[in-house]
């Protein structure tokens, strides 16, 4: 199981005012090459061009962060003693090119900042590297096993013995409950209805420093528990695990976590991952157990699907039956003139028999309204003829009164 290792560093460069005019466009300078701490030969530096990197950057200083190894980095360039500051996050893949700004700052805004012909630009950088996850449990609670437990967490018929003070220390939510006169506080127990016993026990064991199963899915559940109950220390330790461990097998729990907790950056990564690996992911049993609303959101983002019927077409053609059933039902139960044409095109294109019949019945029952829609202009000839033939057939087969 992987996590993210963060390495921080900084450097400065001194810009000479004379270089703004003394250097030509494309004349570059470089800071000292620095080692990236904790890496095997990783190095980074700043390249800057006082007169601009190219003609489009004329009369500007260009500045770039450079590295000799692929990595994700967040870096900030700032002119000391001024409000000029720019920040970017980037994943280095081509180490032959630096990342930064061709127009970092104009000569006009920099000139008033020079003192004795010089000014300082500082670059702060954070490198993010994937590394094996090392379980580092809090040490405080390793030594409290000799103190009798005095509180219970109740999950259905299961009960978990804990220390009351542990709950207050690890969670502001539990602390608020236990500090006020609530129904749970004097009884010596709290009922937890939104997590199962295994998740709660794993989260509590993590806080105590006990061994837990090394499972991505379990850590995602612990992370959910930590966020729900405000256990910031656990959340900060585990928050990098989802992004580093995306696979077809772990996708469902990670993507649903991102959706439920509005982790937009992670959700974007999940959508991109699904677009590439959707065939494998659809074969995982858990996929069909995901909430339909979430899967619809995922399909829209992954494949840039604009309408309900775009999603339905994709789901129908790719065998995602539980989404087809979920999205078709509202149209079958209540079709309107506003969505009739879209429904017809989808139903005939994807051979959806029940929806075809719904469209034909709507035509028969709303003849005057349908006539104003000019269906022959909005439907293909095959779909238009198919709709009318089915409508006439249903009308002819209806029992006479």
DSSP sequence for 296-308: HHHHHHHHT--SH
Q: How far apart are CA 13 and CA 232, in angstroms?
A: 37
Distances (CA, A) of 134 to 130, 202, 240, 243, 253: 12, 16, 12, 16, 21
In which element (H, E) is residue 345 found?
helix 340-349
Locate the domains of the chain by residue range.
4-130, 151-241, 293-392
Residues 6+ apart with CB under 8 A from 68: 41, 42, 43, 44, 95
Residue 13: its H or E element: strand 2-16
Quick one: pLDDT at residue 298? 96
Angle, nearest 10°, between helix axes 216-228 and 197-208? Answer: 80
Residue 116: is it exposed, middle or buried by C-beta count within 10 angstroms (0-12/13-18/19+)?
exposed
What are the two backbone dihedrals, phi and then psi, of residue 330, each rounded to the nearest 5 degrees?
-60, -35
- Which CATH class, in words, describes the domain spanning 151-241? alpha beta
pLDDT score for 400: 52
Q: What is the pLDDT along the chain (401 residues), one digit of tens a residue?
A: 666 678 899 999 999 999 999 999 999 999 999 998 877 888 999 999 999 999 999 999 999 999 988 878 899 999 999 999 999 988 767 777 789 999 999 999 999 999 999 999 999 999 887 766 655 655 555 666 677 888 999 999 999 999 888 888 889 999 988 887 555 555 788 999 999 999 999 999 888 888 788 888 999 999 999 999 999 988 888 888 888 888 999 999 999 999 999 999 999 999 999 999 999 999 999 999 999 999 999 999 999 999 999 999 999 999 999 999 999 999 999 999 999 999 999 999 999 999 999 999 999 998 888 888 788 788 889 999 999 999 898 876 655 54
Alpha carbons 107 and 305: distance in angstroms, whole number: 46
Name the CATH topology of 4-130: 2.60.210
Residues in a beta bridge with 34 = 44
Is residue 23 classed as helix, strand or coil in its secondary structure?
coil
Same fold, 4-130 and 151-241: no
- Looking at residue 135, what is its pLDDT? 57
Distances (CA, A) of 5 to 37, 98, 238: 11, 22, 12
Backbone CA torsion sign across 221, 222, 223, 226: positive
Separation between Cα atoms, residue 312 and residue 97, nearest integer Å? 43
Do the Cβ atoms of 243 and 129 come closer than 8 Å?
A: no
Of 92, 69, 85, 74, the closest CA to residue 7 belongs to: 74
Residues 6+ apart with CB under 8 A from 336: none
194 backbone φψ class: left, alpha, beta (φ>0; ψ -120 to 50) = alpha
């Amino acid at each position: 199981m992987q996590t993210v290792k963060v390495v921080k560093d900084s450097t400065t460069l001194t810009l000479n005012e004379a270089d703004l005019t003394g250097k030509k466009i494309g004349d570059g300078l470089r800071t000292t090459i620095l080692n990236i701490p904790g890496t095997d030969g990783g190095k980074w530096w700043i390249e800057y061009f006082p007169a601009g990197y190219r003609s489009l950057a004329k009369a500007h200083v260009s500045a770039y962060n450079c590295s000799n190894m692929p990595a994700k980095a967040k870096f900030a360039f700032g002119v000391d003693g001024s409000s000029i500051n720019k920040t970017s996050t980037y994943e280095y893949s081509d180490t032959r090119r630096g990342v930064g700004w061709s127009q970092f700052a104009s000569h006009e805004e920099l000139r008033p900042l020079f003192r004795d012909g010089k000014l300082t630009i500082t670059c702060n950088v954070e490198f993010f590297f994937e590394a094996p996850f090392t379980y580092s449990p809090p040490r405080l609670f390793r030594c409290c096993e000799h103190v009798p437990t005095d509180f219970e967490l109740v999950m259905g018929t299961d009960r978990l013995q804990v220390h009351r003070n542990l709950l207050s220390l690890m969670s502001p939510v539990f602390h608020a409950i236990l500090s006020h006169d609530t129904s749970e506080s004097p009884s010596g127990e709290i009922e937890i209805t939104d997590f199962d016993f295994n998740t709660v026990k794993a989260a509590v064991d993590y806080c105590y420093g006990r061994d837990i199963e090394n499972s991505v899915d379990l850590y995602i559940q612990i992370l959910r528990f930590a966020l729900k109950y405000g256990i910031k220390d656990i959340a900060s330790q585990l928050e990098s695990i989802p992004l580093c461990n995306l696979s077809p097998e772990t996708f469902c729990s990670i993507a649903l976590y991102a959706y439920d907790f509005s982790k937009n950056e992670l959700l974007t990564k999940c959508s991109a991952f699904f677009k590439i690996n959707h065939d494998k992911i659809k074969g995982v049993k858990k996929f069909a157990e995901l909430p339909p609303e979430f899967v619809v959101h995922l399909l829209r983002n992954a494949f840039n699907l604009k309408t309900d019927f775009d999603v339905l077409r994709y789901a129908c053609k790719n065998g995602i039956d539980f989404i087809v059933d979920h999205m078709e039902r509202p149209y079958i139960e209540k079709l309107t003139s506003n969505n009739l044409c879209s429904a017809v095109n989808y139903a005939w294109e994807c051979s959806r028999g029940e929806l075809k019949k719904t469209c034909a019945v709507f035509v028969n029952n709303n003849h005057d309204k349908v006539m104003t829609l000019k269906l022959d202009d909005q439907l293909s000839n095959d779909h238009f003829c198919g709709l009318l033939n089915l409508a006439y057939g249903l009308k002819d087969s209806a029992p006479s009164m």
